[in-house]
Structure 1
Amino acid sequence: MIGKIGTGKSFRGCLNYLFEGRLQQTKAMQLHEMEKKQAEVIAYNQCFGDKRQLVRDFIEVSKLNSNVSKPVFHLAISFAHGDAGKLNPQDKVDMAEKLAKEFMFHNNQYVVIEHSDRQHQHLHIVANRIGYDGKTATDSNSYKRMAEYCRKMELEYKLTKVLSPNKFLRPEQRVSQEKRVDQRKEALKNHLLQAIKQCKDLPALKKYMEKQGYAVELGRGIAFIDKQQVRFKGSQVGYALMDIEKKLKQEQLLKQQQIQQQRLQEQKQQQELTKEQEQKLNYSKGISI
Structure 2
Amino acid sequence: MIGLAKACSGGGTLGNYVMDKEKGYELDRNLLCGDNPKEIMEEIKSMQELNQRASNKTFSLVLSPDIKDGQKLTNKELKDITRQYMGKLGIDPDKQQFVAFVHTEKKHKHIHIIANRVQTNGKLISDHHIGKRAQWAAHEIAQERGLTSAKQIMIDNVKSVESQKDNFKSLRKEIFNKHESVIKMNPKGFNEYQKSMEKLGIKVDTVFNKKGIVQGHKLTDKLSGQIFKASEINRHLGLSSLMKPYTPLEPIIKIAKLIGKSNDMGY
TM-score by length of 2: 0.54
Counterpart contact for 1:114–1:122, Cα < 8 Å: yes
SS of alignment partner, residue 3 of structure 1: strand
Q: Structure 1 residue runs of 4+, over 2 Å off?
A: 163-166, 172-176
CA distance, structure 2, for counterparts of residue 174 and residue 65 of structure 1: 48
1:130 is aligned to 2:115: no
Identity of aligned residues (%): 25
Deviation at 1:164, TM superposition (A): 5.9
Which has the larger strand fraction?
A: 2
What amino acid is the match of 2:41? V
1:158 is aligned to 2:146: yes
CA distance, structure 2, for counterparts of residue 175 and residue 11 of structure 1: 44
Counterpart contact for 1:105–1:131, Cα < 8 Å: no
Counterpart contact for 2:63–2:111, Cα < 8 Å: yes
Deviation at 1:58, TM superposition (A): 0.4
What stretches of structure 2 of length at least 5 have no aligned partner?
163-267
Partner residue, 2:27: 42
CA distance, structure 1, for counterparts of residue 75 and residue 89 of structure 2: 22
1:72 is aligned to 2:58: yes
Counterpart contact for 1:72–1:129, Cα < 8 Å: yes
SS of alignment partner, residue 114 of structure 2: strand
SS of alignment partner, residue 81 of structure 2: helix
CA distance, structure 1, for counterparts of residue 117 and residue 159 of structure 2: 34
SS of alignment partner, residue 131 of structure 1: coil
CA distance, structure 1, for counterparts of residue 111 and residue 161 of structure 2: 27
Of 76, 81, 84 in structure 2, the residue corresponding to residue 98 of structure 1 is 84
What amino acid is the match of 1:79? P
Compared with structure 1, are the counterparts of its residues 19 and 47 closer, same or farther at alpha carbon in structure 2 (3 Å cutoff)? closer
What amino acid is the match of 2:146? K
- Please show how residues 63-212 of structure 1 align to structure 2 within 5 Å: 63-106=49-92, 107-163=95-151, 173=159
What amino acid is the match of 2:140? K
CA RMSD, Structure 1 to Structure 2 (Å): 2.5
Counterpart contact for 2:63–2:110, Cα < 8 Å: yes
SS of alignment partner, residue 138 of structure 1: coil
CA distance, structure 2, for counterparts of residue 138 and residue 174 of structure 1: 36
Counterpart contact for 2:47–2:118, Cα < 8 Å: yes
Residues paired across the two proteins, number: 159
What amino acid is the match of 2:65? F
Instruction: Tell which structure's C-alpha radius of gyration is larger.
Output: 2
What amino acid is the match of 1:69? S
TM-score by length of 1: 0.50
Counterpart contact for 2:103–2:109, Cα < 8 Å: yes
Compared with structure 1, are the counterparts of its residues 52 and 160 closer, same or farther at alpha carbon in structure 2 (3 Å cutoff)? same
Counterpart contact for 1:2–1:150, Cα < 8 Å: yes
